[in-house]
Amino acid sequence: MSSNCTSAAPVSASKTKTKKKHFIGQKVKLFRASEPILSILMWGVNHTINELSNVPVPVMLMPDDFKAYSKIKVDNHLFNKENLPSRFKFKEYCPMVFRNLRERFCIDDQDYQNSLTRSAPLNSDSQGRFGNRFLSSYDHRFVIKTVSSEDIAEMHNILKKYHQFIVECHGNTLLPQFLGMYRLTVDGVETYMVVTRNVFSHRLTVHRKYDLKGSTVSREASDKEKAKELPTFKDNDFLNEGQKLQIGDDNKKYFLEKLKHDVEFLATLKIMDYSLLVGIHDVERAEQEEMDVEGVGEEEEYENDGVLTGSFGTPPDSPGNPLNCGGFFGAGEFDPSVDVYAIKSQDSVVKKEVYFMAIIDILTHYDAKKKAAHAAKTVKHGAGAEISTVNPEQYSKRFYEFMSNILS
């Protein structure tokens, strides 16, 4: 596709065309959020999806699409001043590529737009290793993560191969589902954000979660972490509890085939330090919690589609929204087309659970920093110690073996 599209459609990476926007006769969409940066994200996603809807879907992506971007500068506007700064810039990276990825992950652009713009994203108490912020869309379908400019560069490095991998596996993967990548500029400060599908459910509460790397050196949750309402436990915490994820032979075989394929791909990209994020939904506990809520009063009533309306800022009533499809879900039931990472515990177990499992944090390349860290840790812990900074090949094998041992 030509990169000289009209308006704010993708322009080639070599150009820096910027367009000023005037707000005349706009549909009133206020993008109210607790902070300006989130209002800008809502405005930007709304704008770019609207612009993309006017760009025909190409037969195939071209090499330039992996370098393209759309960029818009808003200056001295008078629209919605109580929510949006009067000056800001919004840049979307590789719009055609991410539209194609959303389609391959069966996410409709209208649903994506609604989830990110109808009500403000919600803050999470989770924080990344380098102080990255995590937010979720108001309906909990998508996760928005602030990242560094180095992460954006790494995404550009792997995007073509990642896209090809997603095409070949038909979107059937445990890797993060990357759906959009943006830069927001206000008062000269640049913020980079990446949007992915939420690993956890929009409907089934996660009662316990783990970040597993297959390493046991310094892999325990801190006391500060354990004090949180939903702490992120680590490898040693999991092993010390002596538990297994009981998903049954067929599910285990299918899961491990996907995992093997994914980690071998990451090793070819020289990527490491990723984790398996595991969330556990306790079916019986959820039923009890639901009864307790009903006992307190009728403030939060179930709609006939089984979605707890109290968990949303605005009811997601767009016709195409899969959260809206009819049919009441029983305890521990889910729609596999929405909760794509969910696996039920096998029927024979006494304690019914639903597991959510996916690979996260795949933007760490085995570069000089990691090599230096590996050398330092080897000196400290000895050559045989299970430290997390091994090389990508070793990392993928150790990761796979650890995960195959915790499943039954």
Catalytic residue set: 145, 273
Closest by Cα among 67, 74, 68, 65 to 47: 74
Residue showing tokens 């944090």 = 361
Ramachandran sector of residue 10 (left: φ over 0; alpha: ψ -120 to 50; beta: rest): beta
Residue 59 CA, chain-centre distance (Å), reads 27
DSSP secondary structure letters along 1-54: --S--STTS-B-TT----EE---SS--------SSHHHHHHHHHHHHHHHHHTT
Q: What token pair was written down for 344?
A: 């039920």
Bridge-based pairing state of the strands 142-147 and 189-197: antiparallel
Closest by Cα among 192, 197, 210, 99 to 149: 192
Closest by Cα among 252, 380, 153 to 388: 380
Report DSSP state, residue 109.
H
